[in-house]
Amino acid sequence: QKACGVGTAPVNIALSKYWGKRDKALNLPINGSVSISLPGLGTETRLKPINAEKDRISLNGKPLADNAVFAERLSRFLDWFRDDRESAFEVETHNTVPTAAGLASSASGYAALVLALDDLFDWQLPKETLSLLARFGSGSASRSLFNGFAIWHRGSREDGLDSFAEPLQVEWPDLTIGLVKVNTGEKPVGSTAGMQQTVETCDLYQSWPQQAERDLQTIINAIKSNDFSTMGKTAEHNALSMHATMIATWPPIVYWQPESLSAMQLVWSLREQNIEVYFTMDAGPNLKLLLQEKDRAAVQKAFQERGIGIEFLHPFSG
């Protein structure tokens, strides 16, 4: 064992979403999902065993209180990996998120932590196994072990050993992601609680698992055949369908802000002008745009003219 382990992992954006668990303790999903990672945007974690009663956790240089929700969840995750019940860890987590991103980072966070554990204990485990371990921390973290496209398999085993992510070895150099930051003072419902409530109270959710599996296959095929239009359309439809189940939950969960809808309408009007841009959204008010490099300047201009902040990233070229 080394004195210190280090791990870094990117954030990822699901093109076909994970929403709903078939096992809450193991984070086993009701449906599979596929994502694209954003290199250069993510988490770096340093991990050190210490002689202490409790874990010492810091986020971006600031120590967290033991009872902070984030720290409690992280300590519970680390319980899986302690030598004995006494041992504690020092965890230093840094997120590298650009100003306008507004991206949640539990996915890159747990993936980086698992990589730091692998480094610390010198396990040298394959990425697929590390993906399975990251899944225990946060379902979407299973996809953050990889750059590029990743597929998280639903799996069918009760013990979850077949539910991990794998890379889809296809590169799309001109794929461009636009991060649209919508300002919000409100703290949204976390995804763990949000999906649970949806599964329990939303009648529309009945149709979700089937659609999600179909969209997943459609998007995987579109990625393999370099079909941007089908990928974009299906990703946007999938995200809106997921949000429909959230809205039809009781009490309602609406992640959108008025500015979210304005940004969606702008995307739709750009498409009417034959500028091919699509969006996806997660458990928050921000949009993530999917476009090709040839349309970036036009999209940038349209958003800037409306005073909506936007930042572009290229998943396959730095």
Please give the residue ranges that form the binding site for ligand DP6 (CB under 6 A).
14, 17-19, 27, 33, 106, 138-140, 191-192, 282-283
- Closest distance between ligand DP6 and the C-beta of residue 177, in Å? 14
| Chain position carrying tokens 């100003």 | 99
- Closest distance between ligand DP6 and the C-beta of residue 300, in Å? 25
| Rounded Cα gap, residues 41 and 75, in angstroms | 24
- The answer to whether the CB of 137 falls within 8 A of the CB of 106 is yes
Torsion on CA atoms 132, 134, 135, 136, rounded to nearest 10: 110
- The answer to whether the CB of 94 falls within 8 A of the CB of 60 is yes
Cβ-Cβ contacts under 8 Å for 148 (sequence gap 6 or more): 36, 37, 167, 168, 169, 170, 171, 315, 316
- Closest distance between ligand DP6 and the C-beta of residue 79, in Å? 16
30/302 with CB nearer ligand DP6: 30
33/45 with CB nearer ligand DP6: 33
17/296 with CB nearer ligand DP6: 17
- Of 244, 243, 318, the closest CA to residue 286 belongs to 243
- Closest distance between ligand DP6 and the C-beta of residue 215, in Å? 12
- Closest distance between ligand DP6 and the C-beta of residue 35, in Å? 7
Residue 292 carries which side chain, given as an amino acid letter?
Answer: Q
